[in-house]
Structure 1
Amino acid sequence: MWQRTELLRSSSRIAINLKDIHGIKIRGFAVAAVSACTIIYLMHAISAFVLVEQPKPVPGFRMEGIRKQIYESQWIRIFPHLKAMIPVVTDGNKFSITSARHSSIELLNANQLRMGGIMKALIISRCEAGQRKSYGGDFFYVILRRPGSNGSDGVTCEISDESDGRYIATCIMPWSGKATIHARIIHPSESIYQLMKRYSSEKEFGIHQNTTMRNSMNGIESTSCSVGFPDKRPEEICDYTNPTHGEKRTCLKPPSGGCPKTILYQKKVVEQRSAGESIDRMYCNEENYLKPISGSGNEISILKTERADNTSSHTADHFTDLSSTSFDPMRPSGWLYAGKWNSFKTARSFGHDIATLKTCLSHKRLHLFGDSTARNLYGHLVRSLKIKDYGLAVAWSRGRDGASSEMNMTIQYRSHGPPLNNPGPEDARPYMSDSFDAIHEGGKGTVVVFTVGYHFHFFDPDVYLLRLKIIKQAVLSMLERLPGARVIVKGLHYHWESNIGRSPWLTYRFVTMLRHEFRDVAGVIYMEHWDYTLLRNNSGVHPKHEIFMGTFDILMTHLCLL
């Protein structure tokens, strides 16, 4: 529906840093304070009598109270800069959206650029009207690239959101010579808010999980399953919550009206196209999605230190502990030089040497839990080390077991349980908490590598947070039961291609939550590789072979140093 532009009532909640405007009356609406971006927007609208298409509600959402729901959620507490944005972010005003072409980055310490030191830069976020934003929440990345390399050499930079339109980028400088600053906006804050609204339900957005059941009359019926169905009455739902640890799962009652045992997950059906195509006009409009900002591409010169070569093997002390991690995935754990990964946490790298891998894995009981990315690790180890595989390939999610008498080692793969959007029988998807409970052998020599997250992207993040807490309790119980056992949390990797959610921020949000939940837990090591895959500009959930092998090397380094 088209109508004349009017002042958004929500603008009265926006704080101004540039100046305060009091007593404004436009078309009968009294405003105490509005953002400079909105004022300029109104001036354009009034002077030109502009007709603006009003934003249409997102299908399937009840907008009443959604801002409050997000603000009071559990997951948002991990992101204070996003929580500060929620009360003031504009919703539907395209003139207030952060603009890539008007936003900029500039150096703060241009005279202090020395190898092994820190480069600091200031990002200023501006709206389409060219005025600085009064709130944060934009999703940027900044990378220092080494010119003349293969295009992937460089180091990622940590970014601090000041919640007032300013962002501080902090970059380690591990080489001397030239470096190029690459700064891009991935999503404006307004688009981040739209993503929050879209993925805020126990019912997975965009996915219909068809489940086949056998009823009491021995007939086959089909129905839909998910974590929850908020719009359905209790009598319309069958409860299949995990009885041991409480992971919630429900299905709609089939036509027979009973709640039989589920026997087969069939396939996922995409109900909606990509979020970037339907969520709003601001989200993925080729102007502000993964676009460079002003100042991106500028070159700097980094001075040498007293070292003879042009690279640094040591940086600040807070990068030396292999078992620690920060909350921010952008904070670098290493850097790429001549195509080789150099860790800030250890000087050692174990590469692809088969003899070394056999030595590392000898006398180990290795468990791999998670999604298809964990299954791929299992397959690669079995093929590379010629391990005897006893699994049956009925479905990729079904458990696999292998053993090597030469290395005196065993290896196991188990999926992470619902939600898991792939076909397979019920017993092919055990809950990860139950898989941890099933480990009774060993102590020293028992290693569990797990990953979880990609199949939770399109749910309310509190669903994922609760699952992490349940898994954490199972991890702690196993470590207490088996002294000497170790757990490696394989973090999520950067990617931007997806059939229904082309957004790196969805993964960024979950990898931050994963880091937060397992940070500084005794006996648990977090494997960081978000920065590695960002430097390599990884596109898919399943990385190409070269990038996969890079992450495999990082994992093997963690395993070999246990």
Structure 2
Amino acid sequence: MDNKFQTKVHPPIIYPKVSTHPPKGRSVCNFPPLSPKDALEERLLLQSVSWPETPKLPSPFTLEQTSDPAHSTFTIHPARGRGEWHVGDQLEVKIVISDFKGHPKKSGGDLLFARLHNLKLGAGVAGKVEDHLNGSYSAVFPLLWEGDAQVEVTLVHSSEAITVLNRIDSEEPDRVFFKSMFRSGSRSQTTICNVCLLPTQQPLCNFTDHRTGDPWFCYKPNNMSCDARITHTMGGYKKVLKAKEGKLLQGRVNFKVPIRAMGLAKVTVSPKNEGLQEVKSSIVNYTASGYYYQGLWRPLDGTKVRQFNNASAITQCLKGKMVHLYGDSTIRQFFEFLNAALPGLKEFNMHSPSKVGPFMALDYANNILMMYRCHGTPIRIRPISASQVHYIANELDDLSGGPDTVVVFCIWAHFGSFPIDVYIRRVQRLRSAVVRLLDRAPETLIIIRTANPKEVNISSALYNSDWYTLQRDQVLRAMFKGLNVRLIDVWEMVIAHHLPHKVHPDPPIIKNIIDVILSYTCPQKGV
């Protein structure tokens, strides 16, 4: 099994690798040294997710010279040489970003999403965006269905907003904080906890996991032992915006706002013509991971997705299986979906807090076990017993594995507010556990859920922006590339769909994801 690190990353949206800015404020996070191999990988990963230089904001500043979607445009390139489009061609779109005065920008660094869709056909595919570093961009789409194909380009964040997000990431690595209650007899105290804590006169309790090495600290309560910790819970959010920076993160103004077309916004696609040479992009050839047609997700990696539309089909697939779900609430959605879809699956009362877990459901007649457990700290969650905060890597090390074991995990939504090296190190340890599991039980099915874009709100932008998420998603893909795992590209599945972006995708998207999971679990014979 090849565990060699891959430096090439191919998410649906790729930007030029220009510079790397390691987060500042390292006095807050004093990590133990990495091995030479892991340190090299970390440097390569940081380079792979680096971003074009963005403008330094004057103080004070106005919106006038910042990216304005209302003054920006996109133009569809004509089909070269024949004036018509066919299935198999690539559609290329030129995007020009202008400021609030209508002047074209001279530098890059904006975050753009692109989608090609046909609502009547239930069709959609994510595009790939290239930054030319001069205020212009190209979006490339594969043409995969006959009929109309409408282009949609969205300014997610202006380059100036990314300047703010980069500053916050560098200066406020503890902008989300947590709490733990300590109890001894009738006395109790609550203190602040985090991956990294600023040094003060108050001593620290070190709760770094002794198996994985994942760091976690709490300020020590007065006159009480560190062993008296009984809970973990979300604490709150620090205020991180400086004066007027919020103007760069306004929904319906410059945060996830569509860009208008200059001319036609759609093309008509004719059937594939074997006698014609396919039109390819002048920028790059791009193959999406999949697309929707008639509302159904169709992967382009050769996977045949079956439709599991009733309880009988799902039960037959999962018969004799142990399904282990690990991660955050975006994985808990899968447990909730299957638990509701299968009348034979009965949830066992573990007296777990609602929406926290752990949860377990059993179907004795069909020998199905399904479990969900949230990942370890940092996880923003309702109060949970500290003893129930488990790391996925430890859970995987405790599994026997085998052909009847299905593992589905994700780890992304709670890491956007921390320095990216916190995430890199966590995924390195998780990958090592995956390798160990596959070494001892190579028939174990391991499925990884990628990240996805989220709602338009200021909290989402500051503490879990799509810009932060995109970089971590690229890291995840790179680190598991080459391993015997299956990837569910939820990033593209959300961008390609007509439903709005949500941290918890709507039921039609979840149904498509479940069909992919079950198709990996029970592949169609002969395919």
Query: TM bucket by the smaller chain?
Result: 0.7 to 0.9
Report deviation, 1:468: 1.0
Hey, what does 2:18 align to over in structure 1? none
Report deviation, 1:264: 1.1
| Alpha-carbon contact 1:209-1:225 (below 8 Å) kept | yes
Is 1:394 the counterpart of 2:344? The answer is no
Hey, what does 1:118 align to over in structure 2? 90
Distance change (3 Å), C-alpha of 1:349 and 1:109: farther
Hey, what does 1:333 align to over in structure 2? 289
Is 1:193 the counterpart of 2:154? The answer is no
Which residue identity is paired with 2:253?
A: E
Distance change (3 Å), C-alpha of 1:260 and 1:529: same
Q: Distance in 1 between matches of 2:321 and 2:331?
A: 17
Report deviation, 1:425: 0.6
Report deviation, 1:198: 1.3
Hey, what does 1:555 align to over in structure 2? 517
TM-score (structure 1 length as normaliser):
0.74
Hey, what does 2:385 align to over in structure 1? 425
Is 1:180 the counterpart of 2:150? The answer is yes
Q: Render the CA deviation track for 1:269-309: whole Å, top value 9, x for unaligned.
A: 34449x799743223264322222241762222222259xx
Between structure 1 and structure 2, the one with the greater Rg is 1
Report deviation, 1:461: 2.0
Which residue identity is paired with 2:154?
A: R
After TM superposition, the structure 1 stretch with the greater mean CA deviation from structure 2, 442-451 or 349-358, is 349-358
Which stretches in structure 2 are left out of the alignment for 5+ residues?
A: 1-23, 27-41, 280-284
Is 1:204 the counterpart of 2:174? The answer is yes
Distance change (3 Å), C-alpha of 1:355 and 1:454: same
Which stretches in structure 1 are left out of the alignment for 5+ residues?
A: 1-60, 64-71, 308-314, 317-327
| Alpha-carbon contact 1:202-1:228 (below 8 Å) kept | no
Task: State how 1:18-33 maps to structure 2 within 5 Å.
Answer: none
Report deviation, 1:175: 1.8
Equivalent residue of 1:540, what SS? coil
| Alpha-carbon contact 2:251-2:456 (below 8 Å) kept | no
Is 1:219 the counterpart of 2:219? The answer is no
Is 1:240 the counterpart of 2:222? The answer is no
Q: Distance in 1 between matches of 2:78 and 2:242?
A: 37
Equivalent residue of 1:106, what SS? strand
Hey, what does 1:527 align to over in structure 2? 488
Equivalent residue of 2:365, what SS? coil
Which residue identity is paired with 1:190?
A: E
Equivalent residue of 1:472, what SS? helix
Task: State how 1:123-142 maps to structure 2 within 5 Å.
Answer: 123-142=95-114
TM-score (structure 2 length as normaliser):
0.79
Hey, what does 1:459 align to over in structure 2? 418
Distance change (3 Å), C-alpha of 1:255 and 1:138: same
Which residue identity is paired with 2:480?
A: F
Hey, what does 1:155 align to over in structure 2? 125
| Alpha-carbon contact 2:311-2:341 (below 8 Å) kept | yes
Is 1:283 the counterpart of 2:249? The answer is yes
Q: Distance in 2 between matches of 1:121 and 1:244?
A: 50
| Alpha-carbon contact 2:393-2:429 (below 8 Å) kept | yes
Equivalent residue of 2:209, what SS? coil
Report deviation, 1:185: 0.8
Task: State how 1:50-129 maps to structure 2 within 5 Å.
Answer: 76-80=46-50, 82=51, 84-85=52-53, 90=57, 93=61, 94-110=63-79, 111=83, 113-129=85-101
Equivalent residue of 1:163, what SS? coil
| Alpha-carbon contact 2:231-2:385 (below 8 Å) kept | yes
Is 1:348 the counterpart of 2:320? The answer is no
Q: Render the CA deviation track for 1:122-150: whole Å, top value 9, x for unaligned.
A: 2223334544434322111121222645x
Task: State how 1:466-485 maps to structure 2 within 5 Å.
Answer: 466-485=425-444
Distance change (3 Å), C-alpha of 1:75 and 1:213: farther
Q: Distance in 1 between matches of 2:135 and 2:167?
A: 22
Q: Distance in 2 between matches of 1:409 and 1:225?
A: 38
Q: Distance in 2 between matches of 1:290 and 1:409?
A: 42
After TM superposition, the structure 1 stretch with the greater mean CA deviation from structure 2, 526-535 or 506-515, is 506-515
What percent of counterpart residues are identical? 23
Report deviation, 1:498: 5.5
Task: State how 1:245-256 maps to structure 2 within 5 Å.
Answer: 245-256=212-223
CA RMSD, 1 decimal: 3.3
Distance change (3 Å), C-alpha of 1:170 and 1:399: same
Which residue identity is paired with 2:322?
A: R
Q: Distance in 2 between matches of 1:484 and 1:520?
A: 16
Hey, what does 1:407 align to over in structure 2? 366
Q: Distance in 1 between matches of 2:49 and 2:234?
A: 34
Q: Distance in 1 between matches of 2:347 and 2:288?
A: 37
Q: Distance in 2 between matches of 1:135 and 1:403?
A: 56
Equivalent residue of 1:103, what SS? strand
